[in-house]
Amino acid sequence: MTDIIRITDLGAPVLTDIQRFARQYGNDHPVALDEGSVLAAARERTGLTEFGDDSFRDRMNLWLADINADSNRSGLGRRMVFDYCVRYASNRLRLVDLLERHPEIGDVEIAAPIIVIGLPRSGTTHLLNLLSADPRLQSLPLWESYEPVADPRELPDGRYARAEQEWQQMQMVAPYTAAMHPMDPDHIHEEIELQGADFAHYQPEWVSFAPRYREWYLGTDQTPHYAFLRTALQAISWQRGRSDRWVLKSPQHLEQIGPLLATFPDAMIVMTHRDPVSVVQSAATMMAYAARLQYERVDPTHHLRYWTERIELLLRSSVRDAHRLPPDRWIDVYFDEFMADDIATVRSILERSGLAWTEPVERAVRDRLASRSRGKHGQVVYDLRADFGADPTSVREPFDFYFERFPRVQVEVT
């Protein structure tokens, strides 16, 4: 039976002993959030020095400036951002080095990928993980997304072990994270993690308050950074020695349909749909829960306001740009229908993508479903009224335009 989880201390966190220790460690071991410290750490980690196009420095510095300006950020929260930046810069060093040594990577074809786009918390992760069970498709496990280029000095390859260690630590420090968003090494992850090496994606919003970085991201054509993503996928395909089609996924693509199609013009686009209020309450709860480690004080209503606005931005962009999607390469997936029969949904997508539904494929998808069932780590119960003092009807009002455009979306939270 699935364990039911009810988080009742979002606004006044009751820390576990491990959480108190982690926060104290962050305070006792401060980090310097500046370009020199981050890049020096990346050079030391990799033994490399060439970062390629230096424009990434401006984007990284925007993010670092946001963190330095945030007086509510905890010592542990600052260290988390430092670690993100060092990892991204290290990945950039290794990718630039690999491309320099093997220019033939630029000839690798990334043809007709299946790309899932949809709101966070709308079933995109579950759908991606089921689709990726098809052995004819390439996908990106979390361990490889964290470090997409192997370190040639490291034998045996330690990337998987590091991802596993990070997952174990996350479960100890933030035990409900596994229930809300599993991050084990084999979990199929979002490819925008690869764009981290270019410091150009919306991920900083999920791990920090980054207003200046967000302003740059939302106000800038992201096509060059999607080209960087394509290059990273070419490098991974080349390292694997595979030329199969990719299956990809990210909610970010909802507001980047133009750059996405410019980069992958022959992609099959799968757009998931769910009641935005359900998405908002889930995202706000997850972020407010994580805030007990990253911030000195937690205000759940801030997270509700922020993610209501952010989800609205994602949806308005998708409605604005949906006309760009070719009708013959656009599949809508509605959450209630997907949950009612996820196997049928996967079969439909594969067949629409020109991939036959065979007994081996069905067996692989069912095996994946059995091993990665929803609620495996527990089921979090969300409550907008109790946790945020908000009425679902009021939260839903800004999303009328979305229900008008996609009237089959079912209201979940009342």
179 CB-near residues (< 8 Å, 6+ apart):
5, 375, 377, 378, 379, 380
- Please report the pLDDT score of residue 177 as a whole number: 80
C-alpha closest to that of 267 among 287, 250, 281: 250
Backbone angles phi, psi at 4, to 5 degrees: -90, 130
- Please report the pLDDT score of residue 178 as a whole number: 75
Asked if 108 contacts 238 with a C-beta cutoff of 8 angstroms, the reply is: yes
Tokens in use for 331? 């599949």
400 CB-near residues (< 8 Å, 6+ apart):
none
Rounded Cα distance, 183 and 354, in Å? 30
Q: Would you tell me the crossing angle of helices 75-101 and 223-240 to the nearest 10 degrees?
A: 70
- Residue 140's identity, in one-letter code, is L
Q: What is the pLDDT of residues 137-172, one digit of tens each?
A: 999 999 999 999 999 999 999 999 999 999 999 999
Rounded Cα distance, 174 and 183, in Å? 12
CATH pick for 4-405 out of 3.90.79.10, 3.40.50.300, 3.30.420.40, 3.20.20.450:
3.40.50.300
Rounded Cα distance, 144 and 147, in Å? 5
Beta strand segments in 127-196, E: 137-138
Count Cα atoms within 13 angstroms, Cβ side, for 17: 0
Asked if 191 contacts 249 with a C-beta cutoff of 8 angstroms, the reply is: yes
Cis upstream peptide for 156 (omega within 30°): yes
Rounded Cα distance, 228 and 106, in Å? 11
Q: DSSP secondary structure string, 150-169?
A: --TT-SS--HHHHHHHHHHH
Rounded Cα distance, 278 and 382, in Å? 9
Rounded Cα distance, 23 and 253, in Å? 34
User: pLDDT 10s digit of each residue in the chain, 414 long?
Assistant: 468 999 999 999 999 999 999 999 999 999 999 999 999 999 999 999 999 999 999 999 999 999 999 999 999 999 999 999 999 999 999 999 999 999 999 999 999 999 999 999 899 999 999 999 999 999 999 999 999 999 999 999 999 999 999 999 999 999 998 788 889 999 999 999 999 999 999 999 999 999 999 999 999 999 999 999 999 999 999 999 999 999 999 999 999 999 999 999 999 999 999 999 999 999 999 999 999 999 999 999 999 999 999 999 999 999 999 999 999 999 999 999 999 999 999 999 999 999 999 999 999 999 999 997 766 678 899 999 999 999 999 999 999 999 999 999 999 999
C-alpha closest to that of 308 among 372, 225, 395, 231: 395
- Please report the pLDDT score of residue 374 as a whole number: 67
- Residue 311's identity, in one-letter code, is I
Tokens in use for 55? 């424009």
Inter-CA distances, 89 with 45, 64, 146, 158, 185, Å? 10, 13, 12, 18, 21
The residue with tokens 């390439």 is: 138
Tokens in use for 392? 């679902």
Backbone angles phi, psi at 120, to 5 degrees: -60, 150
Burial of 395 (0-12, 13-18, 19+ CB in 10 A): buried
Asked if 254 contacts 267 with a C-beta cutoff of 8 angstroms, the reply is: no
Asked if 160 contacts 185 with a C-beta cutoff of 8 angstroms, the reply is: yes
- Please report the pLDDT score of residue 378 as a whole number: 82
- Residue 32's identity, in one-letter code, is A
- Residue 15's identity, in one-letter code, is L
Share of the chain residues as helix, strand and coil, in percent rounded to the nearest 5: 60, 5, 35
Rounded Cα distance, 347 and 385, in Å? 38
Pairing of strands 245-249, 114-117: parallel
Rounded Cα distance, 11 and 9, in Å? 6
The residue with tokens 């918390």 is: 121
Rounded Cα distance, 123 and 106, in Å? 33
C-alpha closest to that of 145 among 182, 193, 183, 105: 193
- Please report the pLDDT score of residue 321 as a whole number: 98
